[in-house]
Amino acid sequence: MAIIVFLIVTASAAATGAMFQPGTFYEGLTKPNWNPPAQLFGPIWTSLYIMIAIAGWLIWRKQGVTIVLGVWALQLAFNAFWSFLAFKMNRLDLAFYDIVALWIIIVLFIILAWPVSRLGAVLFVPYLIWVSFAGALNYTLWRMNLV
């Protein structure tokens, strides 16, 4: 049943994406030609959030509440805050700094999780890849749309 708790906690962080939608701000931005279609974001993030929840649960199952789980929770906070910065505040600069911090925290989680649960660590690799891409996109959008 603990896996349900991890899914709910992760879904709560994911809910910020639903609360702070791209809307007209994002639609009005000049975008690079490699900007993915909007309909890709939902399925990709859903898959990633499921992997994030499972990774947290695996760590908890092996160790309980430790620094590794704290890093897991910290990445969720930075993940959730990004949507607020980018789409509520329309601050692509601050969103970029948030995503850089998120990237570092994801790497830290992978390093710390590896000795505890290799599967837990590996489940974060697609997340790291996607956040790397999202960071590049965030930066490009910010730079292309400077006022």
Q: Which domain holds residue 73?
A: 2-144
pLDDT digits (tens, 9 = 90+) for 7-64: 999 999 999 877 788 888 888 899 999 999 988 988 999 999 999 999 999 999 999 8
3-class state of residue 16 by DSSP: helix
Residue 107, pLDDT above cutoff 70: yes
CATH number of the domain bearing residue 62:
1.20.1260.100
Domain total of the chain: 1
Give the relative orientation of helices 67-83 and 92-113 as an angle to the nearest 10 degrees. 160
Average pLDDT of the residues in 54-75: 96
Task: Specify the pLDDT at position 39.
Answer: 86
